[in-house]
Amino acid sequence: MGVRSGHCLCGAVTVRGDVSDTAQACHCQQCQRWTGGGPLFAVRVHDLELTGEDAIHAYDHSNWGRRAVCGTCGSTLYWKLQTGPVAFVALGLLDDQSGITIAEEIFIDSRPDWFPPFAGAIQRTEAEMKAQLAAFLEKETGHDHV
Ligand SMILES: [Zn+2]
Ligand SMILES: [Zn+2]
């Protein structure tokens, strides 16, 4: 963990917060389309601070998640749980990615053949992720959102 900052391609949106050193690769088909190919590489950020809110275009992509892009340059910004403070920021926004490793790959059922797994990274299927998310949401909110 450590405070890191970053920004979108055009600079309209900045991000800052306490960033985990272990990042995640999401291979779900939504993320593949969202990022233009390959997984979404993202890190969990605690106490996420954003500037340029006017430029942020956020939309709900499921019953539980919200994705955001910069409305000016189109950069992938973050996804968040609609309830609670959990936020993952796209790794590519960060000014400094030193010391960060890909520790977990999720929705591996949808990983394309041309993208090899990261050595040592935890591998989770869609079913495993949905079960984990359901348990997490249950704990955070007391509701079942999945
Ligand atoms: Zn931008
Ligand atoms: Zn995904």
What's the CA-to-centroid distance between 99 and ligand 2, angstroms?
A: 23
What's the CA-to-centroid distance between 28 and ligand 2, angstroms?
A: 4
What's the CA-to-centroid distance between 78 and ligand 1, angstroms?
A: 13
Q: Is the CATH number 2.60.120.260 carried by domain 2-141?
A: no
Q: Please give the pLDDT value at position 76.
A: 97
Every domain of the chain and the residues it spans: 2-141
Q: Please give the pLDDT value at position 43.
A: 97
Degrees, nearest 5: CA angle 17-78-95: 50
**Rounded to two decimals, what is the model's pTM?**
0.90
Q: What pLDDT digit, counting tens, does each position of 113-142 carry? A: 999 999 999 999 999 999 988 888 888 766
Q: What pLDDT digit, counting tens, does each position of 64-75 carry? A: 899 999 999 999
